[in-house]
Structure 1
Amino acid sequence: MGKLDVITIIIIAANVIISYKGFGDYSFFDKYKFHIGGVQRGEKIRLFSSGFLHVDTQHLLFNMLTLYFFAPVVTILLNPFYFVLIYVGSLLMGSLLSLYFHKNEYHYSAVGASGAVTGILYAAILLRPGMDLYMFFVPIPIPAYIFGIGYLLYSIYGMKKRIGNIGHDAHFGGAIGGYIITLIVSPELFKTNLLMIGLLALPIVLLFVLKKMDKL
């Protein structure tokens, strides 16, 4: 995928350092996690800070590996500034969508970079729809858009089963953020990748409709 730039390394390092601080300091974790009651009390920093906390090492590793694979596509085909814009915008969009879906659940909480990472994932697929991924224990290449759609479908399962303290709603909130911001900063994609734009819109719409219908 290319060499990681300094900005991506800084973001990964920030996730690792802050997450490990949260692993060993529950008061820190509790203060900065996404929490409906806290946000409604005016603690808006939680919308951002929760994106750098994780439940455990496995959760952190999965998100950072995904970011590692897809970040270079965005930084190379766009630029580091747009990468940061997409990352932060997707993180906040994921938190805002979670807030919208759970606004009446005072005690609802979640953490994770999933929203930001899914935004970068969707941006990378829009920019390079033909790329393949080679995953551990899978001997054949996987089309990136299949991985992207599967990543979102996993969020349905996560929301249904309430797996961990993870912001599964933020997965497709982040996807929406990455999708929209990428198309704004790179409108020529409507001419070159219209089919992929339509394909990647389907799971976003589907997941949103399913959630709104409370069928999860």
Structure 2
Amino acid sequence: MGDLSIVTMVIIAANALISFKGFSDYSFFEQYKFNVGAIIRGEKIRMLTSGFLHVDTAHLFFNMFSLYFFADVVIAYLGSFQFLIVYLGSLLLGNLLSLYFHKNEYHYSAVGASGAVMGIIYSAILLQPGMSLYLFFIPIPIPAYIFGIGYLLYSIYGMKNRVGNIGHDAHFGGAIGGYVITLILATWLFEKNLLMIGLLALPIILLFVLKKLGKI
């Protein structure tokens, strides 16, 4: 197995082991999930551990499948260590945004690697904006940057309207993490892909404008 996939497999294995432990051990799941009240009381470790727990096998599979699909793009450009920085940084920023939006909802709980995975997806789009994605329900290739912008706009809609039992804010925060950390690690992008940097920033700016206006 080449270096390009070892770090991905380690992350997938960690997610699987911790998630399956949580599936069969309710107290373990409760102890390490993201919970606003517990985090405010000082249990900051939940900001990290919740990103390795999942609700069920479908939730786990979808996140790990998405990670596997995009991880090698980021590793190819940044290397394994910086890929880990993007992954863990996006996980934490996703949970920080959730904490910011739900700080007065002490009962609010969440789990999943979605924030971290969205960070990797947004990082991959920044690094290789010309790539195309094939989505299950659309028979033609979609430019990656269109998908990224569209997904974040949908996340804003989901946050505003509380759509589904989904942590839209964690997804969005993870994407911000992937965006910001990648630009810090790969400053050459400012010379090569300045237009793409600006386009991908638009939904991020929109979110904070709407928050400032009290629309979310």
Fold-level similarity (TM above 0.5): yes
Q: How many residues align?
A: 214
The amino acid of 2:162's aligned partner reads K
Say whether the 8 Å CA contact 1:126–1:197 is kept in structure 2: yes
* Deviation string, structure 1 residues 90-131 (Cα, Å, up to 9, x no partner): 111111111112111111111111111111111101100000
Q: How does 1:18-167 map to 2 (within 5 A)?
A: 18-159=18-159, 160-161=161-162, 163-164=164-165, 166-167=166-167
Q: Counterpart of 1:179?
A: 179
**Gap runs ≥5 in structure 1:** none
The residue identity in structure 2 corresponding to 1:181 is I
Distance 1:59 1:153, change over 3 A: farther
Q: What amino acid is the match of 2:156?
A: I
Q: Give 4+ residue runs of structure 1 displaced > 6 Å after superposition.
A: none
Q: Is the Cα contact below 8 Å between 1:119 and 1:179 reproduced in 2?
A: yes
Structure 2 residue ranges without an equivalent (≥5): none
How much does 1:162 deviate?
A: 5.0
Match of 1:12 in 2: 12
Closer/same/farther in 2, CA of residues 48 and 212 from structure 1, 3 Å limit: farther
CA contact (8 A) 1:3 1:72 kept: no
How much does 1:28 deviate? 1.3
Give the structure 1 partner of residue 203 of structure 2. Answer: 203
| Separation in 1, partners of 2:33, 2:56 | 14
Q: Deviations over 1:168-196 (max 9, x none)?
A: 21111111111111111110100100011
Is the CA contact 1:115–1:173 (under 8 Å) kept in the aligned structure 2? yes
Percent identical: 72
Question: Structure 2 counterpart of 1:186, which letter?
Answer: A
Deviation at 1:3, TM superposition (A): 8.7
Question: Counterpart of 1:5 in 2: which secondary structure?
Answer: helix
For 2:14, give the aligned amino acid.
Answer: A
The SS at the match of 1:44 is coil
The one-letter code of the counterpart of 1:50 is: S
Give me the whole-angstrom Cα distance separating, in 2, the residues matched to 1:3 and 1:152.
31
RMSD: 1.9
